[in-house]
Chain A
Amino acid sequence: MIAELGLAALWLSAALAVLQMVSGALGLRAGGGAAAAYAIHARPAAVVQAFLATLAFLLLLYAFAITDLSIKLVATNSHSAKPFIYKLTGTWGNHEGSMLLWVAVLAISGGLLAGLERRLPERTMSATLAVQGFVALGFYAFLLLSSNPFERLPVPAVEGSGLNPLLQDIGLAIHPPTLYIGYVGLSVAFSLAMGALLTRQVNPDFAKVLRPWVLGAWVFLTFGITAGSYWAYYELGWGGWWFWDPVENASLMPWLAATALLHSVSVLAARDALRTWTIMLGVLAFSMSMLGTFLVRSGVLTSVHAFAVDPERGTFILVLLGLYIGGALAIFAARASSISEGKRFTATSREGALVFNNVMLSAILAIVLLGTLYPLLTEAFDVRVSVGPPYFNPAGAIFAIPMFMVMAVGPLLRWKDDKPKRIQFELALLAAIAIGVIVLVAVLGDFDVLPVLGLALAAALGVAALLPLRGRKLARVPIATWGMVCAHFGVAVALFGMASESAFTSEKLAAVAPGQTEEVAGWTIRLESVDPVAGPNWTAVEARIAASRGDEEPVMLAPQSRNFWAPSQATSESALVTRWDGQLYAVIGDRAGVDAAGNERWQLRVWWKPFVTFIWYGGLLIALGGTISIAGRLQVDLRQRHAIRRRDEERADLEALNGRVSDNGPLPEPAE
């Protein structure tokens, strides 16, 4: 029954998406009259759809929780002996389940938009909901026609075939859902942008409606990427935190576009400039989300994350991608010239700095996009290449370095027009810090150019992030400004972590017999013993390592080399010691023969990574900054709504006093 109910809920949602689309489109067309009567169905359709899609997802979750082996998806991706938490997270650890999660989040965001947003003109709202319905319909079709998660097996399986052990980790509980919320939240930004474009309502009021959605999606993307990076770092056992893997790039590209969009929306809201640019970025951001979904879901790339291999699905998503992006660009081309120019500004203004960084972010996006797609392109000509850090790091840095410099200065500039001379003290201070750090590091040792520049920029940015607070009464600084300060400071922290990790990491690889010691970066590592251990669905060899720094008490570490039996696969479980100034990372390998005394040796790999944790602290600070900013905007919005309501009440009172009772007056639309 569960599967049939879930499937029915999905079909109903798809039907409601059609209703939402048609109803919204009618509301857009009609100035009034008969068609407008149908337009009122768009909002309820979106809200009910959200409930149904969520129900479908919860039913699949339940099927995984009880390991219903008559459902094909459960049988191929779960196992009755798996720990309960991984049974649940296994729901989205596969193609169909993760697409259902995608669609459910899409429906929820559509429902929230329809249910909560009352500030936009009705026509713009109708157009927005029509676009949202159109987007949702495409993905319902994809799910129902090519990847039905509720498909039954003719004969229930005796036992499931299990979940990829790399995915049997708490990381899977956090990383994909947050990332999907971010991806799909951008669909609302896309629909709003299209709605505003179709009804020619690209103005600061629209930007204020758009901003919380962009901010929210961006916060989830930031958090998802940060969590994913840490997950890959400790789970894969290679000691790296970013691999420029195509699937990682697929999440980075929407983030870059959303970051640009977020700043451009702020300019539109505050200054009524960058109108068409904001719309373009709205289209770009969601296009990148869909491209990411295509790359991951089509199996066109092979990487550690890719768990779908099916060309039919790839073609389906590619058609959807072409339809939505092509359609959006066509509407953009037709309408862009009719959107009047916003307010002007000079190059040396806050808008100027924001535009510059928008362009730099877009350029980095282009670099990442080309590097990700290049291997696919060459493969069509039978040349196989792989593109890695030697491409992405220098090519990205060419644009990232000027971007960080402008980012340090931008928030200090005034809107519209400013003279660089006014902030010459700050400029000199930041330049002195950056140069000081470069000189200091150059004296300390011989390092690569990029990490040194990274350290210098991180130091300058860290100070620059706090400068907007200088000379202001802290109690009166708007909450949204605190958000910006926090996020920008987070960028500095993350950058410092990255630069420090790549400049100062020490590594030791050795064959060690139990009882022997090794030294790495002031740590003494003593291999105590190597023993077999067993878990619920794996067996492993576990090393017991005593690690001590200087004279302090040794810490016990237990890295494992695990063998799972369902499915049969081996993984390395790293062991970490976290200190404020870095992390010790240990991995155990295979047997490595015997030493001179005849003792059995084991391969041991240990890294000391100074300040590596700052990468993720920085990511969290960035996400926190976004959250603070949303809170600030919401507070202002609520206060304004309250003020408008009070003003209206006062006016009503006044009118009542004057004895003029308005009997046919519709409730006034809130102005903001």
Chain B
Amino acid sequence: MKAKHQRLALVVLALVAIVAAGLIAAWTLRNQANYFYLPEQMASEPPAVGQAVRLGGMVQPGSIQTLADGVSVRFVVTGNTASTVPVRYSGILPDLFVEGSGVVAEGSLGPDGVFQASNLLAKHDENYVPRELEGLHGEDAAQQARETVAGLD
């Protein structure tokens, strides 16, 4: 093999591998990326049962309900409109998971229409909001803001 050919072979090998990586990435991303849903989107175009997605919204006040086993909770997530999605989660709740605050639930929609969450992402502290929840205010949040601001001016 001539020197020129060897360099060419190396370049071709590298290109083939990188292109293959790109194609595999594109294909897997289409299948495996977790798509983000708001409650209203989940109500109008529900994802396939069992497909891994994320659901983001506000925890409806008064909806958190601890089940008898002590480690499972049910709650309802609301968005910018009146649509709601019930969620079930087993595990230790994230710190600062409270009613009326934002939450992102990772999991999939069950056949009964209840969202089975395998992981919950809540606000870490007063400065941190999950990226998906930025720009999401919800009816309750707007209401809360009015209440807290009232009386200040």
Contact = CB atoms under 8 A, between A and B. Distances in A.
Interface string B91-102: 111011000000
Interface residues of A, number: 56
A370 B10 CA distance: 23
A341 interface: yes
A391 B32 contact: yes
B32 A510 contact: no
Interface string B18-51: 1011101110110011111000000000000000
Given A567-B125, A570-B95, A605-B91, A510 B70 contact: yes
A372 B66 CA distance: 36
Given A363-B20, A592-B70, A387 B34 contact: yes
Given A363-B17, A567-B125, A387 B32 contact: yes
Interface stretch (B109-117, B126-134, B143-151): B126-134
A384 B70 contact: no
A370 B18 contact: no
B34 A366 contact: no
A112 interface: no
Contacts of B20: 363
Nearest to A513: B70
Given A387-B29, A569-B125, A360 B92 contact: no
Contacts of B92: 509, 572, 587, 589-590, 603, 605
B126 A567 contact: yes
Contacts of B6: 341, 344-345
A164 interface: yes
Contacts of A399: 17, 21
A511 B66 CA distance: 11
Contacts of B32: 387-388, 390-391, 394
A367 B21 contact: yes
Contact of A568 (B26, B36, B126): B126
Contact of B36 (A366, A384, A561, A595): A384
Given A360-B17, A362-B17, A387-B29, A370 B35 contact: no
Counting chain B residues whose Cβ lies within 8 A of the other chain, the interface size class is: 35 or more
Interface in A294-319: 301-302, 304
B76 to A, nearest CB: 19
Contacts of B127: 567
Interface in B51-90: 52, 54, 66, 69-71, 90
A374 interface: yes
Contact of B71 (A356, A359, A398, A509): A509
A371 interface: yes
B51 to A, nearest CB: 11
Contacts of B90: 509
Interface string A501-514: 00000000111000
A359 B126 contact: no
B17 to A, nearest CB: 5
A514 B22 CA distance: 54
A394 B21 contact: no
A386 B25 contact: no
Contacts of A603: 70-71, 92
A590 B35 contact: no
Given A383-B35, A569-B95, A277 B125 contact: no
B66 A390 contact: no
Contacts of B131: 301-302, 384
Contacts of A405: none
B71 A387 contact: no
15 contacts: A356-B13, A362-B14, A363-B20, A370-B26, A371-B29, A383-B35, A391-B28, A395-B28, A567-B126, A567-B127, A568-B126, A569-B96, A572-B95, A601-B70, A605-B92
Interface of B: 1, 3-4, 6-7, 10, 13-14, 17-18, 20-22, 24-26, 28-29, 32-36, 52, 54, 66, 69-71, 90-93, 95-96, 106, 124-128, 130-132
**Top 8 A-B pairs, shortest CB-CB distance:** A511-B70, A570-B95, A592-B70, A589-B92, A384-B36, A302-B131, A363-B21, A366-B21
Given A355-B13, A390-B32, A509-B91, 15 more contacts: A302-B128, A341-B3, A344-B1, A345-B6, A359-B14, A366-B18, A375-B33, A386-B33, A395-B28, A510-B69, A567-B127, A570-B95, A570-B96, A592-B66, A592-B70
